[in-house]
Amino acid sequence: MKRVLSGIQPSGQLHVGNFAGAIRQFVEMQRDHEMYVFVASYHALTSTRDPRKLSENIRQVVIDYIAFGLDPAPGKVNIYLQHDVPEVTELCWLLSCVCPKHMMDKATSFKDKVSKGLQASIGLYVYPILQAADILSVDPDLVPVGSDQVQHVEITRDLAMKFNHYFGETFKVPAHKLREEAGTLPGVDGQKMSKSYGNTIDPFMAEKPLRKRIMSIVTDSTPVEDPKDPTQCTVFQIFRGLAGANDPRTAELEQRYRAGGMGYGDAKKALFELILEEFGSARRKRVELMNDPGYIETVLRHGAAAARAKAREVTDRARKACGL
């Protein structure tokens, strides 16, 4: 059974784009993979200065992961917080000592922020090294990523191989598993769905504000009676991303677009009904989890214990290899 590692920053409420782009695949992979999924609390400190909000976001991500279908039962998915596995920060230092500066100069996470004229900390500069430590700490075989995150796995592989070159075979060199790009959904404004753009759709919203949010999706001015190209419509792209390209509901909606006589309001209604249907059980599960904080603490305690046990093995190996 292959071991898989993934993480997410607690930057706010998870949305349908997170589900389609990553979480749905994690739910599928948990059937036949050993899963380690962490909340990147240390990484979040590169951008947040609100302790209360960070704490709330961390807990909410864990709740949403489980509501979406990740199973934290023993032997299934180990869900844990990054700061509950301190071995990761020690590995980060060991890896930083073999990391050439030019490797960090090329890292997109730092370059993108600087290019936008935003303040960037040393923490953001060395972000890829900490991410490499996260990955290598549990000896994973696979790291599922979107295309924009492939560089981080490549840096991880490079650092592992550099360490192994200097000190002997110590780290397993993981491979990346590219997530399906069909899972990248547009937001209500047509741009990539992202919390930073404020254009997300939260599937856990109450029905009335959820309907209002979906009705706000930007569309063109094609008359109701005219045929429409579904591939150019944000509403259809979100629908297809959630239902699936081969789902009969997707084919039916596509036919209605191309036939004419359907307004965008009808398409938005179809998307609203799809979200209620697809996330009905998740919405109910989330309410239960919100009212059971003790269960969430138990999940995190067990997840951290499993991750720390593995991380201690890896850290001890790395210490011994470099003479500590």
Q: Which residues are catalytic?
A: 113, 192, 195
Q: How many CB atoms lie within 10 A of CB 316?
A: 12
Q: What is the largest CA-CA distance in the chain?
A: 75
Edge-to-edge strand list for the sheet holding 175-178: 77-81, 34-39, 3-8, 142-145, 175-178
CA gap 136, 130 in Å, rounded: 10
* 31 CB-near residues (< 8 Å, 6+ apart): none
d(CA 289, CA 149): 30
Residue 168 to residues 72, 100, 160, Cα–Cα distance (Å): 35, 18, 10
Note the residue count of the chain. Answer: 324
- Rounded Cα gap, residues 303 and 69, in angstroms: 16
Please choose, from the candidates 63, 65, 8, the residue with its C-alpha nearest in 3D space to the C-alpha of residue 39: 8
Structure-block tokens of residue 31: 């059937």
**What count of Cα atoms within 13 Å lies in the side-chain half-sphere of residue 13?**
11
